[in-house]
Amino acid sequence: MVRMPRRTFLAGGSVALSSGRAAHAKASRPNIIFILADDLGYADTGCFGQKRIRTPNIDRLAAEGTRFTQCYCGSAVCAPSRNTLMTGQHTGHTRIRGNAPRVGGIPAVFEEPSRRLSLEAEDVTVAALLKKQGYATGLFGKWGMAEPGAPGAPEKKGFDEWIGYFNQDHAVYYYTPYLWHNGRKMLLEENRDGRRGVYSNDLFTRHALDFIEKQKQGPFFAYLAYTIPHANYEVPDLGEYAGRDWPAEAKIFAAMVSRLDGYVGQILDQLKKLGIDGNTIVFFCSDNGAPRKPWGDLFRSSLDMRGKKGTLYEGGIRTGMAVRWPGRVAAGRSSEALWYFPDFLPTALDLSGAPAFAVADGISVLPAILGKKQDLSGRWLYWEYPEKNSYSQAVRRGAWKAVRTGWGEPFALYNLAEDPGEQKDLAAAHPEIVAAAEAYARSARVESPHWPSEKSKSDPTR
């Protein structure tokens, strides 16, 4: 079992609030919606620089809220990134630090693997904590942190309702013959025997809209963990991209991003229709950076950032974050506030009016989200990622970022304010900063039997 850091958990129901504070919390706490795309690059939406793919609804969300240009995912791939989002722990402490060890090799199509690393009973999620505060909770999409019946299944981790995929192997099939609904296999007869009838992400959106309608009196937490635009590249129609002179898969990808944009529009329209727009905060971003594409860099998904998905360079972990809360989050604003996925759990608890919980490596960044003064430049951010034959680490504090691509290898040092493309290694010129980064990196992690830190001849993610 992973040795987790010793932490204190204060259950919401066990902490007495003064009647005045309790009344204020109940009156002011908003609904919380977190929309997470899968493998969407930093610049795959118009509001973050995309020129070829239309995303009017995501652009509207950003225009009616604040764009955070220095926000980071929790990891370079999906499972650990989602783990940091749900638990508030960075990858030096999370149970899942890579795309989960697997026993028995790649499973057959549509079959669940027999064993995969799961969250355990003692792992606490933001959904469970919000539920203690009286929030209704729903998950719509990919979980990626458990298998059916495991302790880490969504229905055992605080979600009242959920529909989607347990793991990333299954999640690449958009026309799957089944999904999981509240822990039970839900057959999709329209998709059986080679037929394509129900596109999974359409179904997630319908269930999310129904959940919002049902819980409109609030408060609720809706986690929309879409699998778009992750490969396999499949979409019901190409829309406006059908006639473009692009490679076939590039047209499918563009249509997938625009379809995701349509889902965001439906969510925003639903909030307005139900009259809960002003009491709902919406987060939108991706789970990691853009992967390498078979058609090259047609869309410039990472702009000029170095690296892709699976690396701890900026192109692998920086995400375009947009946050909207009419009347509370400034519209049309761009912020360079430095934060990342482990900050979501404490921020959500802050939004809910919950008492302090010592569960997270992150901190509440609600002041920064609300446009108030909050200095986030003095703390360290931490990532680690197991790659083939090695273990990458990265830390950032202020403008300085240190990265190493192998365990025991020296850190390279970059000044992102002057060198956002991470091209000029300044380690030799600033040994004191490198020493501080190394010291923090050593202190930031606990050893895990599943994610060995030493170099290995085998792939530690298998």
**Domain of residue 317, CATH code:** 3.40.720.10
pLDDT tens-digit series, residues 69-83: 999 999 999 999 999
Same domain, 291 and 397: no
Q: Which of 369, 390, 416 is the last residue of a domain?
A: 369
Whether 350 maps to a domain, the answer reads yes
Q: What is residue 459's predicted lDDT score, i.e. its pLDDT?
A: 39
- Look at residue 100 in the predicted model and tell me its pLDDT: 61
Domain check: are 165 and 228 in the same one? Answer: yes
What confidence tens digit (pLDDT) does each residue in 408-456 have? Answer: 899 999 999 999 999 999 999 999 999 999 999 999 999 988 887 764 4
**pLDDT given for residue 9 in this prediction:** 34
Question: DSSP assignment, residue 46?
Answer: G
Residues 326 and 393 in one domain: no
> Which pLDDT score is estimated for 457?
35
453 assigned to some structural domain: no
User: In the chain, which residues have pLDDT < 70?
Assistant: 1-27, 100-116, 356-357, 388-389, 454-462
Tell me which of 305, 340, 369 is where a domain ends: 369
The β-bridge partners of 187 are 178
Report how far apart, in Å, the C-alpha atoms of 367 and of each of 70, 312, 328, 347 are. 16, 27, 11, 9
CATH number for the domain including 385? 3.30.1120.10
The DSSP bridge pattern shows strands 66-72 and 339-340 to be parallel
The pTM score is: 0.91
Please state, in angstroms and as integers, the Cα–Cα distance from residue 248 to each residue in 41, 50, 238, 253, 377, following that order.
19, 19, 10, 9, 43
Query: Tell me, what's the pLDDT at 388?
Result: 65
For residue 4, give the amino acid letter.
M
The phi-psi region of residue 207 (left if phi > 0; otherwise alpha if psi is between -120 and 50; otherwise beta) is alpha
Q: 414 and 351 share a domain? A: no
Residue 341 and residue 66 in contact, taking contact as beta carbons nearer than 8 Å:
no
**DSSP class of 282:** E
Burial of 381 (0-12, 13-18, 19+ CB in 10 A): buried
Same-domain pairing of 242 and 302: yes
> Which of 369, 391, 413 is a domain's end point?
369
Residue range(s) defining the domain that contains residue 49: 29-369
Q: Are residues 111 and 74 in the same domain?
A: yes
How many helices (H) does the chain have, and how many strands (E)?
A: 11, 17
How many residues are given for the chain? 462
Give the chain's domain count. 2
pLDDT score for 111: 55
Which of 266, 370, 340 has its CA nearest to residue 28? 370
| pLDDT value of position 160 | 98
Q: Are residues 386 and 353 in the same domain?
A: no
What are the C-alpha distances in Å from 449 to residues 2, 85, 119, 205, 452?
6, 22, 14, 38, 6
pLDDT tens-place string over residues 244-281: 999 999 999 999 999 999 999 999 999 999 999 999 99
Structure tokens that stand for 10 in this block: 């204060």
The encoded tokens of residue 462 equal: 């298998």
Quick one: pLDDT at residue 128?
Answer: 97
Residue 461 belongs to a domain:
no
